[in-house]
Amino acid sequence: MSTPIRRFLSYVFVAALLISSPLRSFAQADHDSVAEEVNAAEHELEHRLEENEEDFNIGEMIMHHIADSHEWEFAHGVVLPLPVILYSPDRGLEVFMSSKFHNNDHEYQGYHLIHGDSEEIVPADESRTVYDLSITKNVASMLLSAIILVLIFGSVASAYNNRKGKAPRGFQSAMEVLILFIRDEVVKPNIGPNYQKYLPYMLTLFFFILVNNLLGLLPGAANVTGNIAITMTLAVITFLIVHFNSNKHYWMHLVKPTGVPLALLPIMIPVEIVGVFMKPFSLMIRLFANMTAGHIILLSLFGLIFIFKSIFVAPVVSAFALFMNFIEIMVAFIQAFIFTLLSAMYIGSAIEDNHEADHGM
């Protein structure tokens, strides 16, 4: 090949290299730009998802509504602050409203209000001992239910006094049906001839649980009977009444069950003793679990509206939630009835003279 031709091809090759180099740089830059845009879009999408999760967390919403609190939230933004009552050996008694914690740090006078599965007031100085005696939402709801019960039975008693010898009417008649049902179908058959001694407690137990069950179904209401501390207290009261009034046959049944051979006593005695504590435990768990489960189901249904954010989901969920609310009203009566019935059975088994009966509470 001649020199001019080789020189020409060399020039063409060098020119091609010079032209292709910026094209490759441009293509690489364009690829990098597209990759950056895709990554930015992915990050933005993840950020939006995180924001939505932060804006509405159904688990936190449910726990917020069923847990106890130092304020009563009737609706979003409608809050009633409740009294905070703290006692410590170094400061004595301190009383202020929970609205004092409405600041960025949730702190007031050396105390922190911690929000979690349940609210807790703790001192900033961890070495201090502080007793929280505050009027929480559950306590306020119990006080409200006590006022309602006093007003109801006060009016019923007044109606009986004013209408002696006459048939009951109106609200008095409705309450008489419930009272006679508890007396004749629950207390009498299970406690026996001495039922009158325990009838006031049985009626108080039934109506206290019933009123708090029904109040808990109202929007913004407290979950009193869904609080295990309250159901435990009711079960412990029944436990104490049983054992303070039990007769010798009850105690003998625990240490020497009738008809059990002596060789089996080392096995049966621990079983009987465990049964003593398992029955109040079952009372506590049954009421707590049933009422809490109902609240969680209803709140979960309403939470679906905010999760899907669709106009087509809201009517279906609302209709189903309304149906579940009617079921919960029935459950409120059933749970009050069952707790009272089992309490009457445990008391009756402890005070009856027939030692062959089932003991254990």
Question: E-assigned strands of 131-256?
Answer: 131-132
- Bridge partners of 152, per DSSP, are none
Encode pLDDT of 137-186 as tens digits. 999 999 999 999 999 999 988 888 887 777 777 788 889 999 999 999 99
Residue located via tokens 């490759």: 24
Contact 343, 183 (CB under 8 A): no
How does pLDDT run along the chain (361 residues), one tens digit per residue?
Answer: 444 444 444 444 444 444 444 434 444 444 445 445 545 544 554 455 455 445 667 777 787 778 888 888 887 778 889 999 999 999 999 999 999 988 888 898 889 888 766 788 889 888 889 999 999 999 999 999 999 999 999 998 888 888 777 777 778 888 999 999 999 999 999 998 889 999 999 999 999 999 999 999 888 888 899 999 999 999 999 999 999 998 888 888 888 777 778 878 888 888 888 888 999 999 999 999 999 998 888 888 888 888 887 778 888 888 888 898 899 999 999 999 999 999 999 999 898 875 444 444 4
| Main-chain dihedrals φ then ψ at residue 111, nearest 5 degrees | -120, 145
pTM: 0.78
Task: Tell me how far apart the alpha carbons of residues 224 and 139 are, in angstroms, rounded to a whole number.
Answer: 8
Using CA atoms in the order 9, 13, 15, 17, what is the torsion angle rounded to 10 degrees?
180
The token pair that represents 138 in the structure block: 């559950």
Q: Which residues of 95-110 are buried (b: 16+ CB within 10 A; e: fewer)?
A: ebebeebeeeeeebee
How many CB atoms neighbour CB 190 within 10 A?
21
| Main-chain dihedrals φ then ψ at residue 75, nearest 5 degrees | -155, 170
Contact 138, 230 (CB under 8 A): yes
What is the reported pLDDT for 258?
75
Question: E-assigned strands of the chain?
Answer: 71-75, 78-81, 83-88, 92-97, 107-108, 111-114, 120-123, 131-132
Alpha-carbon dihedral sign for residues 98, 101, 106, 112: negative
What is the reported pLDDT for 354?
57
Residue located via tokens 């091809």: 9
> In a 3-state reduction of DSSP, which class is residue 240?
helix
